[in-house]
Structure 1
Amino acid sequence: MKTAPKILTLLCLLFASGANATLLTNGAFQSCNFNSWDTYTDGVTNAVRDGDFNIIDNAGDCQAEINIDVNNGATAVFANTLSTELDLSVAADSQLWLSFDWDFAGFDDGSDIADLFFVNLIDDIGNITGADGTPGFLIAPTSLYGAGTFSVMLDSSFHNQTGWFLDFNLEAGYTPDSYSSTLLIDNVTLTAIPTEVPAPPMSALLLLGTAALFSRRSQSNRTR
């Protein structure tokens, strides 16, 4: 790669990294534990966790497992919930983007009364809402197994509010194969992104111009 493209790539990365600010601690479970997360079984704090909550460690690449599979030691009668409080601090010219990876699997039959999972925002008095700030869910209750990445911009009504939490819920169903499901969660991020990325400073433009001239001169010398 020639000098000018190299510097251009470096500058683009510099501007891009300066535009974002991650607001969520241990969202990728990089500490390989539940630091900054709370765990609840049947609505009660579960500090022991037993088989209800696990950290899956793939050679240091960790993710959280929520479990209602009694064969794996889960004790929930109704549900297990993994929760973290959100830092919704954001400048007036920015937006908040929430993203996470999920993987819902098990042995239930996927019917309307099977094990299910859902994801929501909840405030400290119990109001469950979606990303638009109205009653609802980020991912509505579903019994269908699958996996994916969820990403959404939060409504501006959340900006700079306190007492909001992100909840991942796994509930037992009512079929013979209920209590046999797990939910994996990873790469949870809350990011403040400016609505307008500032223009590069003059010093950076001068550096890029000098690099371009140097590259052209080097190419000219080689063709003589």
Structure 2
Amino acid sequence: MGHILVVIMMVVISSFARVEANMITNGDFANCQFLGWQTDTDGNVGSDADFSMVNQNGNCAAQIRADYDDTDVFFANTLYQSLHFTSAPDTGFLLRMELDALSASTQSDAGFIADMFFVAINDGQGHLMDGSGNAGFLLAPTEINGARSYDIAFWLSPLFAVSSNWYLDIQLLIGTDVNGLSDFSGSTLRIDNVSLTPFRQISAPSCMGILLLSGLVFARFLLSKRSD
């Protein structure tokens, strides 16, 4: 019965969103190249030490590094891509990605100053926005302290489809103290499986029918457990 419940819940969740063409170019970096993406190191393109590809058992991912001896960055490294919203569903768009953050030192090390990363929509003029089009971030600046993986999703307003010149920014920033100095201990951010798809809901009657069926099956499951 547990397997039936899992299947039904998967149907319910998937019914809220219909998978359509990905509007991100080379979001899985399958060709081990930055095709469709651009790089920026403090206003310049950046070096191979700042931006590179990592091949993990045949699965390639983009890698951003900062605050290492061989990196050119003084402030921030940004991986970005122009976004083209090809349709405007009533409920907006779903942006997903996988991130792995790693710092060479941690808060247990003397003099540690955490580097940071964030994800945002850029209007092409340097203004950063959240999923609703307001000033802010999709993922606010997040400190890197050791190793951590993120599998995250963001909802974007359908209003983004009525205008152009939008960019997806993924930025790695060097953390500094009150004097503007870093700890010169590097951090790495890996990016993979970035996707952007229209997000559409099914009709209310269909949705209610599925939820009702799920409730009936769950109730039957509880009754069977009590009779055991």
Tell me the amino acid that sits aligned with residue 25 of structure 1: T
> For residue 66 of structure 2, what is the aligned residue in structure 1?
68
Tell me the amino acid that sits aligned with residue 188 of structure 1: V
Aligned-partner Cα distance in 2 for 1:32–1:149 = 20
Which region of structure 1 is more displaced relative to structure 2, 16-25 or 161-170?
16-25
Closer, same or farther: CA 93–114 of 1 in aligned 2, 3 Å: closer
> How does the TM-score come out when normalised to structure 2?
0.71
> For residue 123 of structure 2, what is the aligned residue in structure 1?
123
Aligned-partner Cα distance in 2 for 1:178–1:150 = 29
Q: What residue ranges of structure 1 are gaps of 5+ in the alignment? A: 1-11, 198-224
Deviations 1:131-159 (A, max 9, x none): 12100011111214322111021012212
> How does the TM-score come out when normalised to structure 1?
0.72
Aligned-partner Cα distance in 1 for 2:163–2:105 = 39
Residue correspondence of structure 1 range 165-176 to structure 2 within 5 A: 165-174=167-176
Question: Conserved in 1, the CA contact under 8 Å of 2:91 and 2:158?
Answer: no
The answer to whether residue 26 in structure 2 is matched with residue 23 in structure 1 is no
Tell me how far 1:125 sits from its aligned partner. Answer: 1.7
Give the total of aligned pairs: 184
- Tell me which of 77, 81, 89 is aligned to 2:86: 89
> For residue 102 of structure 1, what is the aligned residue in structure 2?
99
Aligned-partner Cα distance in 1 for 2:43–2:105 = 23
- Tell me which of 119, 130, 155 is aligned to 2:157: 155
> For residue 187 of structure 2, what is the aligned residue in structure 1?
181
Tell me the amino acid that sits aligned with residue 196 of structure 1: I
> For residue 134 of structure 1, what is the aligned residue in structure 2?
134
Tell me the amino acid that sits aligned with residue 32 of structure 2: C
Q: Which has the larger radius of gyration?
A: 1
Aligned-partner Cα distance in 2 for 1:129–1:103 = 22
Deviations 1:46-70 (A, max 9, x none): 3xx2200110012331000000142
Aligned-partner Cα distance in 2 for 1:94–1:56 = 35
RMSD (Å), alpha carbons: 2.8
Q: Secondary structure at the match of 1:67?
A: strand
Tell me how far 1:162 sits from its aligned partner. Answer: 1.1
